[in-house]
Amino acid sequence: MTGLGTVVNAAAIIAGGVAGALLRSGLPERFRDTIMQALGLSIVMIGLSGALQGIYVITASGKLSREYIMLMIFSLVGGAIIGELLNIEDKLEKLGIWIQKKYLKNSGNFAEGFVTASLVFCVGAMAIVGSLEDGLAGDTGTLFAKAVLDGVISVIFAATLGIGVAFSAIPVFLYQGLITLTAGFIKPWLTESVISQTSLVGSILIIAIGINVLELKRIKVGNLLPAVFIPFVYYLITKIV
């Protein structure tokens, strides 16, 4: 069944988010603070490892070489400009606040949990690659693996940020579902190089999310989201030109 991987992924996030929110009520604040710090450090390391893997390659002579540096800078700056024009982060936060006011009263930092979890679950390469595999060949293996990871992460997130994490299943479902449905059309342009570049930019955004969780500096990651798609657009332009 096409799309099953995304359905399972969204369900895992909901289940993990609900479980984490239930745990949250019995978790002392000092535990939540320390867990959030540990989670922030973990997110930074996940993003850092992905970014380093995307930037550095071993040449035939055995030396370490860098690649995609200029495209990475162009993607982040271009993505920031587009994101600020669209004001994506503000719209995500307003959506979270609207859901909270309409369905959940007095649920604390609902919007923060919703936005943070949505970004974490959407920017990784597994979301793109897994959705493509599901749409093209009905292969749900990658998305099932992502579902397990997202489910565990959502428990930890929700234990500190609340039930808003469970609602991040909505943008994940829409985002991955759209890729799955359009997989046949976009697959010819998603070469291994493009996916690698996209993963690199996504990994840097994951680092930014970790910095936000650690409260070192508030980075508007939502407004940087268009950066993930710029390598794909750049590839299309080079083919046309």
pLDDT of residue 171: 92
- Taking alpha carbons only, the member of 165, 236, 234 closest to residue 200 is 234
Tokens at residue 137, please?
């060949």
- Per-residue tens of pLDDT for the chain, all 241 residues: 778 999 999 999 999 999 998 888 777 878 878 888 888 898 888 889 888 888 887 777 777 788 888 999 999 999 999 999 999 989 888 888 888 787 666 666 788 889 889 988 988 778 888 888 888 888 888 899 899 889 988 998 898 888 999 999 999 999 999 989 988 777 777 788 888 888 889 889 889 988 988 889 889 988 998 998 899 888 888 888 7
Helix or strand or coil: residue 2?
coil
The set of residues, in sequence order, having a beta carbon less than 8 Å from that of 38 and lying 6+ positions away, is none
pLDDT of residue 105: 65
> What is d(CA 22, CA 228) in angstroms, rounded to the nearest whole number?
34
User: Residue 56's beta-bridge partner residues?
Assistant: 66
Provide the whole-model pTM: 0.82
- Taking alpha carbons only, the member of 2, 48, 1 closest to residue 184 is 2
> What is d(CA 177, CA 184) in angstroms, rounded to the nearest whole number?
13
> What is d(CA 94, CA 195) in angstroms, rounded to the nearest whole number?
31
